[in-house]
Structure 1
Amino acid sequence: MKKILFWLNRQSPARLLSMGFAAVILIGALVLMLPFSHKAGTPVRFIDALFVSTSAVCVTGLTTVPVGDTFTPIGYTVIAILIQIGGLGVATVGVLFTLLIGRKIGLKTRQLVVEAMNFSGYGGLIQTVKFFLKLTFIVEAVGAVLSTLVFLPDYNVPTAIGYGMFHSVSAFNNAGFDILGGFDSLLNYADNVPMNLITTALVIIGGFGFLAIFDLIQNRFVWKPLRLNTKVVTVMTVTLLVGGTILLKLTSGQTWLEAWFQSVIARTAGFNTYPLANFSQAAILIFCILMFIGASPGSTGGGIKTTTFFMVAFKAISSTVQNNRDEIFHRKIPRLIFQKALTVMFFGLAVVFVGTFLLLVFEPDVRLYEALVEVTSAFATVGSTVGITPHLCTASKITLILCMFIGRLGPVTIATLWVLKGFNEASYTEEGVMIG
């Protein structure tokens, strides 16, 4: 045991996070296969249990089996716990248990939290995590009550309460799972305004970023003293939500309510009130872009993140003007930020490209846009699908499992797992390369 602990202590935060997520996924898959987790007469194969567990921990929502028709209430509970762990993060859950038993938070745990939540430093770390946990449980509790009230006209009280609790956890953590039966998601509630508003509110709060929310509350929603990160997140969130709604409305036959819902869900929750298979080609393209961008850093959502896209776009535009000063909101942006943004976008595009290519190889009958939607949805941990997920072969399911895992941890984090040595400080002579 001492040797194992010593070995673990020598591992980088990125590797520990990866191993922690992988361990939770494997345990979840094994539990979902047990007889008490699924209904009699509906055995669950390991690959399907692994897929559902990965989707839950990576807060994606893609599933190869109808969750409501396959699993028992115990199975629902296991999935909800996996979603909660995935949304909070393995490191944050560790902090929660450490605080509950009254122990101090060690340096290694702090490093894990910084790595998991993209914190820029250790200042105020534990205070922020405590706020994060309080906000999570308060919002989920309110969401559960409101969702229960929506379900009550259609179900008995115990069932409505169970559905309300599960829906709130799933929506806030941007997971997109439902237990209503079949693969219909929320199609039966497409015209239900309270359900649409409750769900989108939970998704937006969960995907906004806890540091940004903390900053807004600390500064009482006054714009000027906010951090640059919060301003960028706010501008991007509003722009993508409004712009996405308008574009989806103009390119498909959706109502304004449905277009709003899909614009929110694309970032990155995966619920459905309008079949994605009915989208026009133009709407599919818009939806894929929204999925790829995703939510904001330090949130329960996925994607390359709103700030990443903003920085890449901002640098592209600022490079074409004469001064090229990289200043916005009265702040100058460090060059390292642009380098990180470009790296994240490159690796994200690489994962989507490779995943789409593999899916097309494994599934010759699948069309390009179907494979692109499926892989982008998996990588960005969205969970939206055109309906091909249950029919995929084992190799395709494994491909999507890997995409979900990479998307949840971050492609750059995965890439750093293979770094074994430090950098050599010696460098070569610079030489230019023609661009464009």
Structure 2
Amino acid sequence: MHKWFNRTPQARLLAGGFGLVILIGAILLMLPISLMPGKQLNFLDALFEATSAVCVTGLTVVVPGQTFNLFGRFVLAILIQIGGMGVVLLGILLIRVAGGKMGLKTRSLFVAAQNLTDYFDLQKLATIILRITFTFEAIGAICLWFPLMRYFNPLQAFGHACFLSVSAFNNAGFDVFAGGDSLIPFAGDAAFCMTISILVIIGSFGFLALIDLWKKKFCWRKLSLTTKIAAFMTVFLLSAGTILLKFTTGQTWLEAWFQSVIARTAGFASYPLSAFSNGALLVFIVLMFIGASPNSTGGGIKTTTAFVIGLKAISSSTAHDEDSCFFRKVPNLVFTQAFTVLFYGLMVVFIATFLICVAESHLALSDVLTEVVSAFATVGSSTGITASLQPVSRVILIVVMFTGRLGPVTIANLLVTGRAHSASFTEENVLIG
């Protein structure tokens, strides 16, 4: 077993780990012990729910608050927590509890899973990430408990607060309210919406960036380039999204802000997407596709990827092609990685949208595209078509959610066969544009 573990490629181990957790979660969710009296869940629907939870997406084919009992909701919360932290990080936690040590393979898996570029002191880093996660979730649960007591008795409010805090920080977008209307009934509650917003923003900012901010005492000059880009893009996307959504829909400023935040891969809703204008829906889709920052609980192609691609496009159009920002030059390898992520992301969205359009010819393209981008970027927002999709479309979305959580490049690495060639061909120029 140890030899197999060491010889197996990292991409396969990551995919296998997530796949195993999803399978176990699906089995648990479909058992009668997890369901409300009189409720049944077939394997495909249970698999969809488990995949959505582990991939911290939030798309659902049932109403969780009307389908799962206390145990089922607990299983759902655990799956979300595992998905947000990552299977490898959970494994490191278990190793620490058991008093064991991290081997080289475990360290390399952690580096791959967290999108790191170096090994650092990984055991210490993993501990810090766990502390950040549980600290903010605990604070979030307490802050949500008070506004929720206006709608529920103290015990029910506490249960909802704990679940929502885990869901929000991990950018999952699940809720267990009985109505199935997400957070629309609480759209006017500023304290509630702002608490959810802050949890989503912190969870989507990236653990390394949060650590960097704390260690450098929020001194902009001392921050790493990645942290600066993540901070700049976070402020820019939230501000631009709020303004654009405000003037393309009938939302209040609070609702527009909240929708701009949750488009960063959270999946909650304070305003129905089905009521969005085409312009607002386009803005929302772009925000979803970009998603969160690297090394965070969110998905999408990541804020740094979008920034680097924009930087290269602008830099290549000017007289001085310096590829620099914030007084730092960006390496050429980073641009290659960014365009690779963009290419595979667009391909996944295009193929899945095409297949679902074929299977669901009665649906509007905008609805299908929203659903697919939401699944790929692990957002969970929907125009309301998820529950009505045919089994084949649900399977496609399961694959898309899985791909989006692991990353399309990681999935592509699973399909790579053969060895690299030692020889290379003669270089020749290609006309572009």
- Give TM class, smaller chain: over 0.9
* Aligned counterpart for 2:161 among listed residues 164, 189, 204: 164
Aligned residue type for 1:76:
R
Q: Say yes or no: does 1:421 pair with 2:418.
A: yes
User: Could you give the per-residue CA deviations for residues 210-257 of structure 1, whole angstroms, max 9, x where no partner exists?
Assistant: 000000000000000110000000000000000100000011110000
* Aligned counterpart for 1:123 among listed residues 109, 120, 131: 120
Q: Say yes or no: does 1:267 pair with 2:264.
A: yes
Aligned residue type for 1:345:
L
Aligned CA RMSD, in angstroms, stands at: 0.8
* Aligned counterpart for 1:138 among listed residues 135, 146, 153: 135
Q: Say yes or no: does 1:387 pair with 2:384.
A: yes
* Aligned counterpart for 1:51 among listed residues 48, 57, 70: 48
Q: Say yes or no: does 1:68 pair with 2:96.
A: no
Q: Return the offset for 1:421.
A: 3.3
CA distance in structure 2 between the aligned counterparts of 1:187 and 1:88, rounded to whole angstroms:
28
User: Could you give the per-residue CA deviations for residues 67-113 of structure 1, whole angstroms, max 9, x where no partner exists?
Assistant: 00000100000000000000000010011111111111111111111
Secondary structure of 2:33's counterpart equals: coil
CA distance in structure 2 between the aligned counterparts of 1:196 and 1:28, rounded to whole angstroms:
29
Residue aligning to 1:290: 287
User: Could you give the per-residue CA deviations for residues 25-48 of structure 1, whole angstroms, max 9, x where no partner exists?
Assistant: 000000001111011211001111
Q: Is contact 1:297-1:307 (8 Å) kept?
A: yes
Residue aligning to 2:212: 215
Matches within 5 A, 1:35-434: 35-434=32-431
Q: Return the offset for 1:302.
A: 0.3
CA distance in structure 1 between the aligned counterparts of 2:155 and 2:33, rounded to whole angstroms:
19
CA distance in structure 1 between the aligned counterparts of 2:38 and 2:287, rounded to whole angstroms:
39
CA distance in structure 2 between the aligned counterparts of 1:428 and 1:313, rounded to whole angstroms:
31
Secondary structure of 1:417's counterpart equals: helix
Residue aligning to 1:11: 8
Q: Return the offset for 1:330.
A: 1.5
CA distance in structure 1 between the aligned counterparts of 2:306 and 2:197, rounded to whole angstroms:
22
Q: Return the offset for 1:332.
A: 1.0
Q: Return the offset for 1:392.
A: 0.4
User: Could you give the per-residue CA deviations for residues 164-200 of structure 1, whole angstroms, max 9, x where no partner exists?
Assistant: 1000000000000000024300011000001110000
Aligned residue type for 2:289:
F
Secondary structure of 1:406's counterpart equals: helix
Secondary structure of 2:19's counterpart equals: helix
Aligned residue type for 1:429:
T
CA distance in structure 2 between the aligned counterparts of 1:182 and 1:400, rounded to whole angstroms:
24
CA distance in structure 2 between the aligned counterparts of 1:183 and 1:389, rounded to whole angstroms:
13
Secondary structure of 1:342's counterpart equals: helix
Aligned residue type for 2:276:
F
CA distance in structure 2 between the aligned counterparts of 1:251 and 1:128, rounded to whole angstroms:
43
Dislocated runs of 4+, deviation >3 Å: none
Aligned residue type for 1:413:
T
Q: TM-score, normalised by structure 1?
A: 0.98
CA distance in structure 1 between the aligned counterparts of 2:413 and 2:242, rounded to whole angstroms:
37
Unaligned 5+ runs, structure 1? none
Q: Return the offset for 1:8.
A: 2.9
Q: Percent identity?
A: 55
Identify which range, 149-158 or 324-333, moves more after superposition: 149-158
Unaligned 5+ runs, structure 2? none
Alignment coverage as a number of residue pairs: 433
CA distance in structure 2 between the aligned counterparts of 1:50 and 1:417, rounded to whole angstroms:
22
Q: Is contact 1:67-1:182 (8 Å) kept?
A: no
Q: Is contact 1:204-1:264 (8 Å) kept?
A: yes
User: Could you give the per-residue CA deviations for residues 233-292 of structure 1, whole angstroms, max 9, x where no partner exists?
Assistant: 000000000010000001111000000000000001000000000000000000000000
CA distance in structure 2 between the aligned counterparts of 1:145 and 1:327, rounded to whole angstroms:
43
Q: TM-score, normalised by structure 2?
A: 0.99
Q: Is contact 1:128-1:214 (8 Å) kept?
A: no
Q: Return the offset for 1:149.
A: 1.3
Aligned residue type for 1:26:
L
Aligned residue type for 1:422:
R
CA distance in structure 2 between the aligned counterparts of 1:428 and 1:377, rounded to whole angstroms:
40
Q: Return the offset for 1:433.
A: 1.0
Aligned residue type for 1:428:
F
CA distance in structure 2 between the aligned counterparts of 1:339 and 1:181, rounded to whole angstroms:
47
CA distance in structure 2 between the aligned counterparts of 1:91 and 1:8, rounded to whole angstroms:
13
Q: Is contact 1:294-1:306 (8 Å) kept?
A: yes
CA distance in structure 1 between the aligned counterparts of 2:22 and 2:152, rounded to whole angstroms:
31
Q: Return the offset for 1:425.
A: 2.2
Secondary structure of 2:287's counterpart equals: helix
CA distance in structure 1 between the aligned counterparts of 2:201 and 2:39, rounded to whole angstroms:
35
Aligned residue type for 2:86:
G
CA distance in structure 2 between the aligned counterparts of 1:182 and 1:378, rounded to whole angstroms:
23
CA distance in structure 2 between the aligned counterparts of 1:395 and 1:121, rounded to whole angstroms:
41
